[in-house]
Amino acid sequence: MSGTSWDGALGKLGFGAAGIGNLYRAMPDTQAAATVKAAWDSGVRYFDTAPHYGLGLSERRLGAVLREKPRGEFTVSTKVGRLLVPNAVGFSAKDDEGFDVAATSKRQWDFSEAGIRRSIKESLERLGLDHVDIAYLHDPDVHNLAKGIGEALPVLEKLRADGVVKAIGVGTNSAEAALECVEAADLDLVMLAGRYTLLEQPGVPFLDRCVARGTGVVNVGVFNSGLLARPDVPEDSHYNYARAPRALVERARALAGVCRGFGVELPTAALQFSLRHPAVVNVTVGASSPEQVSANAARMNEDVPEELWAALAGVRGD
């Protein structure tokens, strides 16, 4: 299955489930369930998760809602490369990778065929589903890109050929690593974080190559860690998970000012811009409340004047 066959198949907007894995802060099960249900009620039918998100909590919470829905009506992706194994410190410690959960398990890199098959099997158990549609190799550049390309990607190709999953890909923050993977394997999709946004577009050469290769791109991180997430950009905004440099705050404020001149709020422009490259088949956004989900869905469907994009390009210096 080529990546281009996913054009329109995922819908414009997907739901990223890191937040319901207690990313940065804990939430009750009821809030997590309500957030996923709000995504469904907003028309979202693509849901992305990973064992990494909350040490399996995201998969368990997502599956608790999705397994009550008709299986043929939604697409779900998870990720491989990190296994969850028992942690000797148990409940006495918190996870140290950004999720507010007890460290009852720990992550263990494993790009082997046995490890990847085990990862998918355990993800299905947590999700309570009989299959996932898409399997991404998660952050191979963080661990060992050469091993990911040489060992893990051939395994994913084999699993697709065997019908274990419908599509395969890579999830990464690095356009350079993503390009190496796309050139080395027959990938359907790449989940690329933060490299094609209204603020900056260093991933454009990679996206252009994906068009030529027939690889679809799921665009994530399109608010640049929150810098573009509000109509008015506050002084203490974050960028790449840290305090935003002053120059980027000013650039985001300039973009917001142009948007206001066209009667459009900055987050709306940020969401819709992120779909504009022909390689992008979906924009997936996380949320931690039903209200955030509903707002994102409304912004994605809002009418935006075409003239805005040319005006914003002038601010960015395109």
Tens digit of pLDDT for each residue in 172-206?
A: 999 999 999 999 999 999 999 999 999 999 999 99
Which amino acid type is present at position 178?
Answer: A
Q: What pLDDT does 3 receive? A: 42
Q: In a 10 Å sphere around its CB, with 0-12 CB exposed, 13-18 middle and 19+ buried, how is residue 96 labelled?
A: exposed
- Residue 63: CB partners within 8 Å, gap ≥ 6? 126, 127, 128, 129
CA-to-CA distance for 114 and 303, rounded, in angstroms?
A: 48
Tell if the pTM clears 0.85, that is, is over it.
yes
Confidence (pLDDT) at 79? 98
3-state helix, strand, coil in the chain (%, to 5): 45, 20, 40
pLDDT confidence of residue 52: 98
End-to-end CA distance of the chain: 34
Q: Helix H segments across the chain?
A: 29-41, 57-66, 113-127, 140-143, 145-147, 153-161, 175-184, 204-213, 246-261, 266-273, 290-300, 307-316
- Tokens standing for residue 139: 């952050």
Q: Which fold has domain 3-222+270-309?
A: TIM Barrel (3.20.20)
Q: Can you give the pLDDT at residue 93? A: 77
Q: Which of 176, 215, 201 is CA-nearest to residue 276?
A: 201
Question: Of 24, 46, 53, 241, which one is the catalytic site residue?
Answer: 53
Q: What amino acid is encoded at 184 in this protein?
A: A
Q: Residue 222, by phi and psi: left (phi above 0), alpha (psi -120 to 50) or beta?
A: alpha
**Which 3 state secondary structure label does DSSP give 49?**
coil
The pLDDT value given to residue 91: 60
Radius of gyration of the chain (CA): 19
State residue 6's pLDDT score: 83
Tens digit of each residue's pLDDT (9 = 90 or more) over 97-131: 999 999 999 999 999 999 999 999 999 999 999 99
| φ/ψ bin of 134: left (φ > 0), alpha (ψ from -120 to 50), beta (otherwise) | beta
Contacts of 313 by beta carbon, 8 Å cutoff, 6+ apart: none
Our answer to whether residue 53 is catalytic in this structure is yes
Q: What residues of the chain score a pLDDT lower than 70?
A: 1-4, 90-92, 316-318
